Chain A
Amino acid sequence: MQSVIDYLFGSAASMPHGVCLLWQTDLLALHAISDVLSFVSYASIPMALLVFVRRRPELEHRWAITLFAAFILFCGLSHLMAAFTVWFPFYGLQGLVKAATAAISVLTAFAIWPLVPKLLLIPSPAALQKVNAELGSVNSNLKTEIAEHRETLRELNEMRRELELRVEERTRALGVANRELERMNVDLSTFVHVASHDLKEPLRGIRHYAEIIADDHGEQLPQSAKDDLSSIARLADRMVGLINSLREYTRAGEAEALIEDVDINDVLHAAMDNLRSLLSETGTTVEVVGTLPRARCVRAHVLTVLQNLISNAAHHSKGRAAKVTVEAHITVDGVTLKVADNGPGIPENIRDDVFKLFRRAANEQGEDSSNKEGLAGMGLAIVKRIVERNNGSVKLGSSPDGGAQFDLLMRPA
């Protein structure tokens, strides 16, 4: 134990360093004061470093700064020991402190080289400031852009609101127009019903008076006057026929259209039944090609269409017995009907005209061409109107035997 203490703090044989300095006061003072000042400074520097490290916990390589602090502190301790050894021979202790200082110095020396490139990577405050300035300008650019986008968004929203308002307004206007149109439609059909009634009454009177005159005074009249009287009666009849077809035409466009499962074959027979006297008078025959299907459609529409087309064929057979063929299919598009006859056909240049109201073929002018039903010039217009009500189309062409062929498509909805 005594030997360890002797080793550290010097035995009786050891001499303080002052002896070497021959106890010259100025030398003693120079050494001692320099060493103590060095120690105090070397102790203060690590403290500052530690304070710095503690305050910047996010800093990289803090261990390196701590190592420097320790290295400086030990250098300071070495100076303190040098000051002591001027008066006290603590050479063992001084050696230990020097050894520790050497160890920490070597460690620091080894640690510092690899650290250099890493430390070089840390940007300088000037560089940071430059980057910061750049970031600032990018930031302000972004802010401007965001503001612009917000403005655009606001404008878009405003436009959308405006559009919505406009759509709403247009919808309202359309509704009003629609109601007006519906009202006009009702007005029109009421008008046609009333007018047909009121127009027919005087016509019937005209015909009856003409007939009464012929009946009561026929013997006193020359033949030409009797002929004229019968012309009056016939013209009155024709006018009634036209009024009836006008009403029929209006009815074809009216609303009640019940879509149901319809047996086209049944409808064809009903049409033929309605036309029985015309068919037998003209010797017209109707033939079905294949079988007629059942289809979802408006029965009354199909009936009117078939009746008008068959009647059209019967009336235009030019004295021959007409043969009408009827074909019907269900396709992806809807119900197709094909009605063809073996009559004289319809010349291509007037094919569009035959669907117009009150239109008759050019070679048929004159009062004798009017048929009993008064449907001359109306039947095909009615067909077209009905087909259009069914979102379909009607095409007029030539049948294989040179007659007229009507291809219809109906899409009831």
Chain B
Amino acid sequence: MLEGIHELPADSLVLIEDSDADARVVVRAIEKNNLDVALTHFGDVERASEFLNAHKEPDTRRIVLLDLNLPGSGGLDLLKRIKSSETLKHTPVVVWTTSDQPSDVSDAYANGANGFIVKPMGLSDATQCIADICHYWFERSVLPK
């Protein structure tokens, strides 16, 4: 789903998340925080990978919010693919997961993750967290075009 009609290409948040409940929270957080962000949601690795490779519009500032626990080859595999792709490797990938296991954290960073966020428990915390992520990457950070 693409949201926000703008003259300029909107900031793009690509969410790869198989839990509808968690995806719903992200969608809701963008709505509630009135964020000017286009959210694209995929529930599996293959379709997300296809999309990322096919839609690389110039002038779009894009970040990936990636769940690790995904059906199929899993989130870590997609992270590796993104970071080893010449065209995609500069895209910031923020890991968004239930796991706080040290091995998952170090594996993610070792494979080029740009952030590691443990999904907060509680709606208000989660809403604030999404706002923080968008604010940090789209407002504060300078991203490659």
A interface residues, Cβ below 8 angstroms from B: 193, 197-198, 200-202, 204-209, 211-212, 215, 233, 237, 240
B98 touches which one: A197, A206, A208, A215 (CB < 8 A)?
Answer: A197
Q: Mark B89-102, 1 if CB is under 8 A from A, else 0.
A: 00000000011010
CA distance A206 to B122 in the complex (A): 10
Known: A193-B101, A237-B121. Is A208-B69 also a contact (CB below 8 A)? no
- Any A CB within 8 A of the CB of B88: no
| Residues of chain A with a CB closer than 8 A to B101's CB | 193
- Any A CB within 8 A of the CB of B114: no
- Any A CB within 8 A of the CB of B123: yes
For the complex formed, measure the closest distance between the CB of A33 and the CB atoms of chain B, giving whole angstroms: 135
In the complex, residue of chain B having the shortest beta-carbon distance to the beta carbon of A215: B123
Q: Are A205 and B19 in contact (CB under 8 A)?
A: yes
CA distance A211 to B99 in the complex (A): 22
For the complex formed, measure the closest distance between the CB of A322 and the CB atoms of chain B, giving whole angstroms: 27
B interface residues, Cβ below 8 angstroms from A: 19-22, 24-25, 28, 69, 98-99, 101, 119, 121-124, 126
Known: A201-B69, A237-B121, A240-B121. Is A208-B99 also a contact (CB below 8 A)? no
* Interface contacts beyond A205-B20, A208-B126, A212-B24: sample of 9 additional A-B pairs, CB < 8 Å, sorted by A: A206-B21, A208-B21, A208-B24, A208-B25, A209-B21, A212-B28, A215-B123, A233-B122, A237-B122
For the complex formed, measure the closest distance between the CB of B74 and the CB atoms of chain A, giving whole angstroms: 12
The contact sample of 21 A-B pairs, CB cut-off 8 A, is A193-B101, A197-B99, A198-B69, A201-B98, A205-B19, A205-B20, A205-B22, A206-B21, A207-B122, A208-B24, A208-B25, A208-B123, A208-B126, A209-B24, A211-B122, A212-B24, A212-B25, A212-B28, A212-B123, A215-B123, A237-B121
For the complex formed, measure the closest distance between the CB of A225 and the CB atoms of chain B, giving whole angstroms: 17
In the complex, residue of chain B having the shortest beta-carbon distance to the beta carbon of A193: B101
| Residues of chain B with a CB closer than 8 A to A200's CB | 98
* Most chain B CB neighbours (cut-off 10 Å) among A193, A200, A208: A208
B69 touches which one: A197, A204, A207, A209 (CB < 8 A)?
Answer: A197
Q: Are A201 and B122 in contact (CB under 8 A)?
A: no
| Residues of chain A with a CB closer than 8 A to B19's CB | 201, 205
CA distance A233 to B123 in the complex (A): 10
| Residues of chain A with a CB closer than 8 A to B69's CB | 197-198, 201
| Residues of chain B with a CB closer than 8 A to A206's CB | 21
| Residues of chain B with a CB closer than 8 A to A197's CB | 69, 98-99
Q: Are A204 and B24 in contact (CB under 8 A)?
A: no
CA distance A357 to B112 in the complex (A): 40
CA distance A197 to B28 in the complex (A): 23
In the complex, residue of chain B having the shortest beta-carbon distance to the beta carbon of A204: B121
Q: Are B123 and A211 in contact (CB under 8 A)?
A: yes
| Residues of chain B with a CB closer than 8 A to A201's CB | 19, 22, 69, 98
CA distance A237 to B120 in the complex (A): 11
| Residues of chain A with a CB closer than 8 A to B123's CB | 207-208, 211-212, 215
In the complex, residue of chain B having the shortest beta-carbon distance to the beta carbon of A211: B123
| Residues of chain B with a CB closer than 8 A to A202's CB | 21
| Residues of chain A with a CB closer than 8 A to B122's CB | 207-208, 211, 233, 237
| Residues of chain A with a CB closer than 8 A to B28's CB | 212
CA distance A207 to B69 in the complex (A): 20
For the complex formed, measure the closest distance between the CB of A305 and the CB atoms of chain B, giving whole angstroms: 21
| Residues of chain A with a CB closer than 8 A to B22's CB | 201, 204-205, 208
CA distance A208 to B125 in the complex (A): 10
For the complex formed, measure the closest distance between the CB of B143 and the CB atoms of chain A, giving whole angstroms: 29
CA distance A207 to B122 in the complex (A): 7
| Residues of chain A with a CB closer than 8 A to B24's CB | 208-209, 212
A204 touches which one: B20, B98, B99, B124 (CB < 8 A)?
Answer: B98
CA distance A201 to B99 in the complex (A): 10
